[in-house]
Amino acid sequence: MSNTTIPIKKKSTLVKTLQWLAVATVSLLLVAYFIFSDMSGPDQSILVGKVNSRPVYYSQESQYARNYEQIVQNMASMGGGVSDMLSGFFEYQAFIMTVNQLLLYDGAKKNIVVSDQYIIDNIKGSFFLNDDGSFREADYNAFVKNTSDADKKAIENDIRENISVQTLTHELFQTIKTSDLSVTSEYLKRNNKRSIEIIYYDALPTVRDYVPTDDELNVYFTENVTNFVQADLSWIVLKSASDSSVLYNSLKKNIDEFAQKAKEKSEDKGSALNGGNVGYLTSKEMPSAIISEAVFAVKKDKTLLEPMYYDGNYYIILVNNVRLPSSISDLSKEMISSEYLSKNHDRLIAKTKVDLKSKMMADYSSTKDRTQLEAEGYKYYTDNNFYYGATAKDEVTSVTIPYSYEKSFADAVFKTGIGSSSSIIDLPEAIAIVKVISEDKKSMEDIALLNPQESISVMRDVYSSKTTRIARYWSDTAFLDARIEYKLSE
């Protein structure tokens, strides 16, 4: 993730007020302030996107940035890192999370009314109570006296917004009831298990290995030339935020020193040999979408950008020039091939599946055994405990079968008779055939034998499933009605 401005930002009046109050705990007010006040402010520099004409900015303290960091931390907890490709994906997911939060607030604002007295009581209870529950009236009166009307209004709005969102969230997602019928249905689904064999063809490797012809690339370049705007960049890469800030301020006064400073100080030794110059890059060839956004916002040549953070380094970037490539030879073949495959991914996947469907059925229907099928590029799996809502896992390798969580897969499994094979199952990036070997099916009589702990477990699963469905439906509906623009992909 990249931060746009390394020098420490001035503290807002609200933060100063809280520090004056010596409030040491993370509070409802701070949460509300940081969630909503950073969405649109004059000190933001990178526009991530818009929702219903309301801008979503990137800054070090923004909700967007915190959403991104949450995603990165979740990935790190699972042992994963952040590659260039994943960084762009995470940036988009952080934007979607932020949009969802904004739309939830918009819904709350229309439907939830929070009284002025409730706001006052909330401020008193959050900041002016001692550990024993007694009220610090003198501190509260001092706060009222010493805080400007504008700051008090900002605090009031922040708390009102946060309470509205919390209330709507509770009404939407935390008041769900479960019936005996839904528990019974969930229990039967979970315990109607089938033993299956799966013949699987993953179309993704075929598409990844596809080499576009020169004619395909030339046509793609001609039709999309404006997507390949290039910037001639020089950069100095440093490890320290303070060092990058000092050097940036020095270079602002004398930009002619850039090449020499790059040779002396840059951690990127390859570009340092060229005075920091890395040549012409398209947006996709830059370290991150945030850096790309800042670069292509430049209006004139020889513009020096403030330090930006990415992957443990601080980049001081000099934008020498911006141009539209005159021919495909101005681009690296590897880059334009990658772009072609990315933009045509869905079409190539669909074509690969169509081309293979008849062959797969013929191969499966012939006398070919498992070894022969695997030699043809198919994968063979078995799962002895597959049920509705599960993801199939191979009994031998413990590999999770991609897209086996899809409803179309489960429907095929449970609509196929014992001892029979399904027709071709069309999955997002694969095709499959399932043979049902046997079934272990529970009945209504078994439900009566459930112990209380098992019943609670089933009820919890029903509740979780319902909550997820309602949240997804609400989000999908809100997104359909919203005007959403994502700028980092441009």
pLDDT 10s digits, 388-405: 888 999 999 988 898 998
- What pLDDT sits at residue 267? 94
Core vs surface per residue 431-462: b (16+ CB within 10 A) or e? bbbbbbeeeeeeeeeebeeeeeeeeeebbebb
Q: What angle do CA 474, 478, 480 make, to 5 degrees?
A: 120
Give SS3 for 140: helix
Average pLDDT over residues 431-447: 85
pLDDT band at 85 (very low <50, low <70, confident <90, very high): low
What does residue 131 show for φ and ψ, rounded to 5 degrees? Answer: -60, -30
**Among 199, 189, 234, 212, residue whose Cα is nearest residue 383:** 199
Q: What is the pTM of this model?
A: 0.54
- Of the listed ranges 149-163, 286-300, 446-460, the least confidently predicted one is 446-460
176: Cβ–Cβ under 8 A, 6 or more apart, which residues?
Answer: 463, 466, 467, 470
Partnered with residue 235 across adjacent β-strands are 317
Give the tokens for residue 428: 């997002």
Q: Which CATH class is domain 189-209+344-445?
A: alpha beta
- What pLDDT sits at residue 302? 94
pLDDT 10s digits, 168-194: 666 665 555 666 666 677 677 777 899
Core vs surface per residue 220-240: b (16+ CB within 10 A) or e? bbeeeeeebebbbbbbbbbee
CATH 3.10.50.40 in the chain: give the residue spans: 230-323
Residue 21 clears pLDDT 60, i.e. is over it:
no
8 Å CB contact between 127 and 27: yes
Residue 314's H or E segment, with its range, is: strand 313-323
- Of the listed ranges 169-178, 253-262, 473-482, the least confidently predicted one is 169-178
State how far the Cα of 66 lies from the Cα of 64, in Å rounded to an integer.
5
Give the DSSP letter string of 416-469. Answer: SPTT-B---EEETTEEEEEEEEEEE---HHHHHT--HHHHHHHHHHHHHHHHHH
Own/partner pairs for 261-265, CB < 8 Å, 24+ apart? Answer: 261/236, 262/234, 262/235, 262/236, 265/236, 265/238
Core vs surface per residue 347-383: b (16+ CB within 10 A) or e? ebbeebbeebeeebbebbeeeeeeeebeeeebbebbb
Residue 5 clears pLDDT 60, i.e. is over it:
no
Side-chain-facing half-sphere of 361: CA atoms under 13 Å: 11
**Among 276, 289, 271, residue whose Cα is nearest residue 317:** 276
Q: Compute, in degrees rounded to 10, the torsion defined by CA atoms 127, 128, 134, 139.
A: 160
pLDDT 10s digits, 111-129: 777 778 888 888 888 788 8
Partnered with residue 486 across adjacent β-strands are 49
Residue 349's H or E segment, with its range, is: helix 345-365
- What pLDDT sits at residue 434? 95
pLDDT band at 355 (very low <50, low <70, confident <90, very high): very high
CATH architecture of 230-323: Roll (3.10)
